Amino acid sequence: MRIDTVTLEKDDMDFFAGRIPADVIRNTGEVGFFTIGAVDETNRLLGVAQFCVGTVDKNHSEAGLNYLYVEEKDRNRGVGRTLLSDLISILKKSGIKRIFALPERAYAMDDFFEANGFENAGSSYRWKGKKLPVCWVRKIT
């Protein structure tokens, strides 16, 4: 199966209505939020990843993984890995130095994050002034 990534606009997100949080759909196309989708050779949407830039520091050197979703029937086929890899490539070209994923958006995907180069920063990571119980962080080099 060939997997390509495409930039998604708000109109494209209707496909995911009822399967992903409404705020992910609402954020698509908003300032600072970027949404990409994985499609197969027939252009069928397999999954979606959304990230936001500049939420941590004013220099915009970090990005947050806002959401990652793969259709259930397409899981364990490399879709999530492809989305994450392409997302990191986009961030690297933009000068982003780190990406982080917070537990309320990561949905307990510990094995996935660890296998894809993220480190568990535990509660040492702060977001909006709060210490988090778990946060996954990856340097982009």
Give the count of beta carbons closer than 10 Å to the beta carbon of residue 76: 8
Q: Is 11 left (phi over 0), alpha (psi -120 to 50) or beta?
A: alpha
Average pLDDT, the chain: 83
pTM of the model: 0.81
| Percent of the chain clearing pLDDT 70 (strictly above) | 82
Handedness of CA 78, 110, 34, 62 (dihedral sign): negative
pLDDT at 25: 87
Which CATH number do you get for residue 35?
3.40.630.30
Look at the block and give the residue holding tokens 């392409």. 86
Taking the chain, what is the end-to-end CA distance rounded to the nearest angstrom? 29
User: What is the C-alpha to C-alpha distance for residues 121 and 134, in angstroms, rounded to an integer?
Assistant: 7
Write the pLDDT tens digit of every residue in 34-52: 999 999 999 899 999 998 8
The domain total for the chain is 1
Q: What is the pLDDT of residues 92-141, one digit of tens each?
A: 998 889 898 875 544 557 788 889 999 887 766 665 666 666 678 899 98
DSSP the chain: ---EEEE--GGGGGGGBTTB-HHHHHHTTSTTEEEEEEE-TT--EEEEEEEEESSS-TT--EEEEEEEEE-GGGTTTTHHHHHHHHHHHHHHHTT--EEEE-HHHH-S-HHHHHHTT-EE-GGG-EETTEE-S--EEEE--
